[in-house]
Amino acid sequence: MNIVIIDYGAGNVKSVQFAIERLGYSAICSNDAAVIQAADKIIFPGVGEASSAMLEIKKYGLDEIIPKLNQPVLGICLGMQLMCRFTEENDTKCLNIFPINVLKFSNDLKVPQISWNTLMNLKPPLFRNVPEDSFVYYVHSYYVPLNEYTIATTNYGLSYAAAIHRENFYACQFHPEKSSAIGEQILKNFIELN
């Protein structure tokens, strides 16, 4: 199994790599287009600010590569938001894999949301063997609204998409690599996708 974590300088790549190793798999971190395109499974993590992250993605030419990938891809946190069309964070145009706009939480909510929160309305295959109302770990100030691609929801002031899926692209707003046994199950489900 050839697992590649996209490393463009804005992702928490080591913690994702360690989480995969705890499952008995190995993964390499790379920003090389040929290495990424040759992978069986690809993980696209992200932390930080969207416009800076998109500049890094473009610097490596990955804005052209990522949307055209045919193998399973899992976006995490900022990675999920960058897979959308646009984010209100510094009015940033993103990769448009999911034709959705990412919105800022309202000013009456404490942001970023840094907390464990529940997962609801779970759909397989990403959430196979994950119980409803399982807790996962979030750190974010922007959110993906509910949409036709939603495969899990959560609630923070409003109900929004905790995870989305379109064709070979999956993404989650929470950090599975920091979400204990539940997060490991979700990563395992992704790695074992056919």
Is CATH 3.40.50.300 correct for 3-191? Answer: no
CB atoms within 10 A of CB 35: 15
137 CB neighbour count, 10 Å cutoff = 18
Rounded Cα distance, 84 and 92, in Å: 10
> Distances in Å between the alpha carbon of 5 and those of 37, 109, 141, 186?
11, 32, 24, 16
- For the CA atoms of 88, 93, 99, 102, the dihedral, rounded to the nearest 10 degrees, stands at -20
On the question of a cis peptide bond just before residue 125, with omega within 30 degrees of 0, the verdict is yes
Distance CA 62, CA 88 (A): 21
User: pLDDT by residue (tens digit) across 48-78?
Assistant: 899 999 999 999 999 999 999 999 999 999 9
For residue 112, whether the previous peptide bond is cis, meaning omega lies within 30 degrees of 0, is yes
pLDDT given at position 10: 77
Q: Enter the tokens of residue 169.
A: 């692209």
Active site residues: 77, 175, 177
pLDDT tens for each residue of the chain, 194 residues long: 999 999 998 777 999 999 999 999 999 999 999 999 999 999 999 988 999 999 999 999 999 999 999 999 999 999 999 999 999 999 999 999 999 999 999 988 988 999 999 999 999 999 999 999 999 999 999 999 999 999 999 999 999 999 999 999 999 999 999 999 999 999 999 999 98
The CA distance from 80 to 143, in Å, is 10
User: What is the Rg, in whole angstroms, of the alpha carbon atoms belonging to the chain?
Assistant: 15
Give the residue extent of every domain in the chain.
3-191
